[in-house]
Amino acid sequence: GSSDLGLLANNLVAFVNEGQQPSGSDPLAKVKIMIQDMVDKLKRQAADEAEHKGWCDDQLAKNKIAQETADADIKKYSAREVKLRAEIAQLDEDIIDVTAALNETKTKRAESVKLRLEEKASNEEAIEDSSEAIDAVEAAIKVLKDYYAQNGDDVDLLQVHQSAIASPTGVIGMLEVVKSDFARLLDKTQKAEQSAADSFRATDLETNVTIAQL
């Protein structure tokens, strides 16, 4: 660089100030050697600087590529983050909706179970009452048949509504009709209870499946 050139100039000045040179010697020989040494040194420095510059340029290129790759990754992951946040928000809304639907379904099922239990209790009570009534009528018919079998056509004990029950056949016939009515009621109630139970089981199964899926 400039310092080397300055050193060369100083050496040249010193050489001129030396005065007489030995006879027969080349007065520029020493200068040529000094200049050649300086040129060689400058070439080596230039080569070193060129090599260092090449390394720097290579590093800068690599850093630029790395920065561009990093920027692209940042954009990609930022977009993915935005998408995931949107999906999370949607899932939060879905959870709220599903939870509300689940609570509503459970509430309706609880009401359905309560009504079914009340219906079952009512039907079982009606079935029991009908069965007891049939047993009571059958017992009464038996008592009357036994009585008439022992006393013939004597109906003195049955003066109330005598026109409707003027004979043992009329009394027993009336009781048979009552028994038949209770039997029909019993059969109807039993079938209604069975149908209600089957319907409830099917509906409750569907409800439980729905709850399990929510």
CA atoms within 13 Å, Cβ hemisphere of 89: 6
State the pLDDT at residue 84.
93
What are 172-188's pLDDT values in tens digits?
Answer: 888 999 999 999 999 99
Q: Which residues contact 101 (CB under 8 A, 6 or more apart)?
A: 214
State the pLDDT at residue 161.
44
State both tokens at 134: 């049939």
State the pLDDT at residue 24.
52
State the pLDDT at residue 59.
85
pLDDT band at 1 (very low <50, low <70, confident <90, very high): low
State the pLDDT at residue 91.
93
State the pLDDT at residue 162.
44
